[in-house]
Amino acid sequence: MKKLLALIMTVSGVLVLTGCAVEPVVLSQKQSELIASTWSYGEGTEEAKALRQPPDKWWAAWHDESLTYLVKATLENNTDIAQAQANLRAAQASLLSTTSALFPSASLGADASRNRRNHSSTDSFSADASAAWSFSFGGRDVSARRAAQASAHASELSLEDTKSAMTSEVALTYVNLRLAQIRLNIAKQSVRSYEEAKNLTQWRYQAGLVSATDYEQANAQFENAKANIATNMHNILQYETALSRLTVLPLQKIQDLPAGDIPTPPADLAVSIPADVISLRPDVLAAQETVRAAMENVRVAQADFLPTLSLSGSIGTAAATVGALGASGTGIGALVGALSMPFLNWGDVVAGTETQKATLDRAQAQYTETLVGALEETENALSGIRSSAAKKMSLRTATDSSQLAAQLALQQYSSGLEDYQTVLTTQRSWLTAQDNEVSNQADWAIAHIDLYRALGGGWVPEENRNKENKQ
pLDDT at 269: 64
- CA-CA distance, 223 to 229, in Å (whole number)? 10
Res 350: pLDDT: 79
Instruction: Give pTM, 2 decimals.
Output: 0.73
**Which domains, from first to last, does the chain contain?**
2-21+41-104+123-470 (1.20.1600.10)
- Residue 146 CB partners (closer than 8 Å, separation 6+): 19, 22, 292, 293, 296
CB-count burial class (<10 Å; 0-12, 13-18, 19+) for 447: buried
d(CA 140, CA 309): 12
The dihedral built from the CA positions of residue 445, 450, 451 and 453, taken in this order, carries a sign that is positive
> Can you say whether the dihedral through the CA atoms of 405, 408, 414, 417 is positive or negative?
negative
Query: For the stretch 328-341, what's the b/e string if a residue is b when 16 or more beta carbons lie within 10 angstroms of its beta carbon?
Result: eebeeeeeeeeeee
| d(C-alpha 49, C-alpha 44), whole Å | 6
Please identify every stretch of the chain with a pLDDT value under 50, giving residue numbers as ranges. Answer: 1-22, 36-45, 468-471
Residue 188, pLDDT score = 86
Position 427 scores a pLDDT of 77
Q: What is the 3-state secondary structure (H, E, C) of the chain?
A: CHHHHHHHHHHHHHHHHHHCCCCCCCCCHHHHHHCCCCCCCCCCCHHHHCCEECHHHHHHCCCCHHHHHHHHHHHHHCHHHHHHHHHHHHHHHHHHHHHHCCCCEEEEEEEEEEEEECCEEEEEEEEEEEEEEEEECCCHHHHHHHHHHHHHHHHHHHHHHHHHHHHHHHHHHHHHHHHHHHHHHHHHHHHHHHHHHHHHHHHHHHCCCCCHHHHHHHHHHHHHHHHHHHHHHHHHHHHHHHHHHHHCCCHHHHHCCCCCCCCCCCCCCCCCCCHHHHHHCHHHHHHHHHHHHHHHHHHHHHHCCCCEEEEEEEEEEEECCCCCCCCCCCEEEEEEEEEECCCCCHHHHHHHHHHHHHHHHHHHHHHHHHHHHHHHHHHHHHHHHHHHHHHHHHHHHHHHHHHHHHHHHHHHHHCCCCCHHHHHHHHHHHHHHHHHHHHHHHHHHHHHHHHHHHCCCEECCHHHHHHHHHC
pLDDT, tens digit (0-9, with 9 covering 90-100), for 16-40: 434 444 455 555 555 555 554 444 4
